[in-house]
Structure formats: C-alpha cells, structure tokens
Amino acid sequence: MGKHKITFISDTHGKHDQIVTNKSLRKNGLPLDLPGGDILIHAGDFMNSGWNEMEAIMFFKWFDSIDNYDTKIFIAGNHDRWAENNPEEFKGILTGYKTIEYLQDDWMGIYYDGPNGDMPEENIRIYGSPWSPYFYNWAFNLPRQGVELQEKWSKIPDNTDILICHTMPWGHLDITDNMMVGCELLRFRVDEFKPKIFVGGHIHSGYGYKFDGHTHFFNAAILNNSYRYTNKPMTIEWDSIANTVDFL
C-alpha cells in the first residue's frame, strides 16, 4: 500500500484518438501510451476550437471507454469554451458517463480501508481547477494579477495531495519563446502549502517533469506548439507516503 500507478495527459485538443490505448490496437506493434493503473489524469484542453459540443462528447466517449484505470479524472482548460459557456448542459451530459470524474474548483478523495477501518496515510486528496491568466480571451481566463484569480487559488485546500490545474505555476515548466508565462498567483499558492504532485499543461513547450524538493511538477501537454502528437503521456509509480516517483 502507498504505491500508486498514475498516468498524466493534457492538451489533447481533439486528437485523443492518436493515443494508443487498449481500445486502439489498430496501431500494431506499438506499446500502449496508456498502460493502465490506478489513476489517469487529464489536465484540460480536451477540445480544439471549443465551441462545438460534439468535440466534448467525442472526448467523453473516448475517456469513458478506457477500461484499464481504476479512477479517471479530468478538468477543463482555456480551449474548452463550451464547458464554461454551458455549464449546466455540460454537467448534465457528463452524468451519462459513469466512469469519469470532472473537477472544477472542487476536490475528491480516494480512500483506502485498512485492518482498523482507516488508513489516513493511504488516502489521496485531489483538487482540480481550470483557470489560467488572461490570454486572448479564451475560456476560464481571468486577469493575471486580479483578485478573481487569487480567489480561485485560495479555494485550494491546504491538505491537497495532487493538484490538477490547466496552467502551470510561474517558473515551473512554463517557458515558451524564452519567457516564463505561468501564473504568478498560482506559484505563490503552491509554495504556501506544497502539494505532493502538481499536474498541468497549457504551455505545450513546457512539457516535462521537475522536482523542487517538495512537489513533483508535471507538464503533461502531449501536443507540441504545432499541435502534433510528439510528447508521450507520463506514467509513474508514486509512493504517496514517502512522496517519491519512479517513471515507468
């Protein structure tokens, strides 16, 4: 107990069918991009233009069809306009997909029962939020230094183990065109309570992993800046008690 196999993906932009899953074995001879495990996390931008609800529905069907993970979680991102503009319809359609969890400024727990009925060290608290600093008036955008964005980050509970955001914190896997473009206010909040894992995307060129001594940061954007599928999903074995990761 305490070890969990987790896969991270983000920024599929409607190209999720290019990911090799156990449902897409037409790509003979290739290893699975989603090998299965305990948790699969998608950190937003599952749509491309973001206006057409069929983009979202096709993603829901695909994500729901993946059957080799115990828990599948996703959040929205700045391309997912329909999710922001039609929240009730969006959530209503989601109720038809029983195997996937959507988080929007909300949390969920994964609980494990031991011999005495509780093993608090084994429990995992996961929080998800779609917001990012203003960028050409896309979805879930708020002014970079505004009080509204600060309020969103202040809602993140201090006891969060895995934090899923669409944008990256400033200074962590957020470089594009030789500039850091992550969120300064999110960086301040993450530095305050130090989650064990942070997973995001948004900044395609920042794809990768780093560890700052407290938090494991993953930018899981699978498409490059030209929107080609060049970055593979990242799968790890995470020891939630020791907070160590091994790439698989």
Q: What is the pLDDT of residue 119?
A: 54
Model pTM score = 0.95
What architecture is the 3-247 domain classified under in CATH?
4-Layer Sandwich (3.60)
Mean pLDDT value of segment 13-25: 87
Neighbours of 84 (CB within 10 A): 18
Looking at residues 40-52, what average pLDDT do you find?
A: 96
Q: Which two tokens stand for residue 141?
A: 């955008």
* Domain spans of the chain, in order of start: 3-247
Are the C-beta atoms of residues 122 and 240 closer than 8 Å to each other?
Answer: yes
Note the pLDDT of residue 27: 57
Phi, psi torsion values for 17, nearest 5 degrees = -65, -15
**Tens-place pLDDT, residues 89-101:** 999 999 999 999 9
Alpha-carbon span 150 to 186, nearest angstrom: 8
pLDDT digits (tens, 9 = 90+) for 180-233: 999 999 999 999 999 999 999 999 999 999 999 999 999 999 999 999 999 999
CA atoms within 13 A on the CB side of 226: 3
Lowest mean pLDDT among 37-51, 79-93, 114-128: 114-128
Element (H, E) at 65: helix 53-65
What mean pLDDT comes out for the span 168-178? Answer: 96
